[in-house]
Structure 1
Amino acid sequence: MALKVKAQEKLQKIGKYEGTYRYIMMPELYTSLSQEKVIKEAAMRSGVSKGIMQACWDAAGEVIKAWATEGHSVALPGLGTMRFGLRAKSVANVNDVKTGLITSRRIIFTPAVELKDELADTAIQITCYDRNGQEVKRVTSNDPGTVEEPDNENTNGDNQGGNTGGNTGGGEPNPDGSNED
């Protein structure tokens, strides 16, 4: 199995490459699988009836929701953990603390190492389309999943910015003074 990616030539309207056409890559999304289809497949793989699997699925969902809303980080078997977080404005005076400072409530997912390794080992198939939607090239990876950063001008080996696959929501202040978690 391989991840399918499309690279679409698009006109850049802002930033460093404004006014030029660049190939922008994004995953090709498949259709969403219905809960019924997932339950049917899980029942088949586990050897239990669809009704029992449905009851277990519903119960697990209720437990995860209850524990997560109580502030727990909840394990999702084979996937990682999820927890709730928030983004809020900071204030200097304790008397100014109120729920109105909360700007968003979030769900934070931290993938399991095994899941990240599986993703890193998955082949990538890229289909390139020009600005008119015509296919112009196909690329299939056979590499170990090494990520290159050719636009990164930092040559001393430090990762400046970018996503290193770490946990989002680490409580670091944001540039606007808000704080996550």
Structure 2
Amino acid sequence: MAIKVIAQRREVKLGKNPGKKFVMRPDLYIPIQEKKVFAEAATHSGISAGVIKAAWDAAGEVIRTWATEGHSIPLPGLGTMRFGVRSKAVADLEDVKTSLISVRRIIFTPNVDLKDELKNTSIQITCLDEDGNVLKRVTSDDSGDVEEDNGNDNGNGNDDGGDNTGDNGNDNGNGNDNTGGDNQSGGDSGSIVDGVDEG
């Protein structure tokens, strides 16, 4: 399997060096239908697609419920997810109000296996001219580095371009969010305030 990317030449008017450049974009596929996922999982597991769907739906209900309580939820085989918000920081207690929240967010932290899968997947680039004609094809020989989505988190409530809902790297994406049990101590504290803007 490979990730397919299109690099098409087009006029770039912004930036320091405007002109014709090859701009990359993903070669998107048709979204896979849910029933196909269940059918494929049934083939691999020997469990009927109906049973898998019922379990999937039940797990979804549990995940939504726990996420609204501020927990970091393991997504088996994928990583963890939790809810968060971006907000402004204020100095005075009297100024703390819900209007400080600018946006609600869903934060996904991939586990090591998922990152390794991405790292080991080749990338195929198809180069096109302005009219969509194929000029050449390239297969990746890069190091496969995977972006670490830490967003300059400093955990102190200051938004310097990142997310600060206790999103300090303690949620390791393998289903263990280092919370130390139900008391949510010692790691992802279950706080749902991140991306604080002091502006």
- List gaps (5 residues or longer) in structure 2: 165-193
Compared CA separation, residues 32 and 138, structure 1 to 2 (3 A)? same
Residue 146 (structure 1) shift: 4.2
Residue 52 (structure 1) shift: 0.9
The count of aligned residue pairs is 162
Residue 169 (structure 1) shift: 8.2
One-letter amino acid of the counterpart of residue 167, structure 1: N
Residue 145 (structure 1) shift: 3.0
Partner of 1:151: none
The 2-side partners of 1:145 and 1:95 are apart by 51
- Report whether the alignment pairs 1:180 with 2:199: no
Residue 174 (structure 1) shift: 3.2
The TM-score, its normalising length taken from structure 1, stands at 0.80
Partner of 1:166: 149
Helix, strand or coil for the counterpart of 2:29? Answer: coil
Contact 1:2–1:125 at 8 Å: present in 2 too?
yes
The 2-side partners of 1:105 and 1:53 are apart by 31
Contact 2:77–2:111 at 8 Å: present in 1 too?
yes
One-letter amino acid of the counterpart of residue 145, structure 1: S
Contact 1:84–1:108 at 8 Å: present in 2 too?
yes
- List gaps (5 residues or longer) in structure 1: 148-162
Map 1:51-62 onto structure 2 (within 5 A).
51-62=50-61
Helix, strand or coil for the counterpart of 1:21? Answer: strand
Partner of 2:119: 120
Partner of 1:96: 95
Map 1:9-24 onto structure 2 (within 5 A).
9-17=9-17, 19-24=18-23
Contact 2:125–2:139 at 8 Å: present in 1 too?
yes
The TM-score, its normalising length taken from structure 2, stands at 0.73
The share of aligned pairs that are identical, in percent, is 54
Contact 1:39–1:57 at 8 Å: present in 2 too?
no
The 2-side partners of 1:86 and 1:2 are apart by 34
Map 1:13-162 onto structure 2 (within 5 A).
13-17=13-17, 19-141=18-140, 143=141, 145-146=143-144
CA RMSD of aligned residues (A): 2.2
The 1-side partners of 2:19 and 2:107 are apart by 35
Partner of 1:3: 3
One-letter amino acid of the counterpart of residue 75, structure 2: L
One-letter amino acid of the counterpart of residue 33, structure 2: S
Helix, strand or coil for the counterpart of 2:132? Answer: coil
Contact 1:108–1:168 at 8 Å: present in 2 too?
no
The 2-side partners of 1:146 and 1:87 are apart by 31
Helix, strand or coil for the counterpart of 2:118? Answer: helix
The 1-side partners of 2:4 and 2:61 are apart by 33
Contact 2:5–2:27 at 8 Å: present in 1 too?
yes
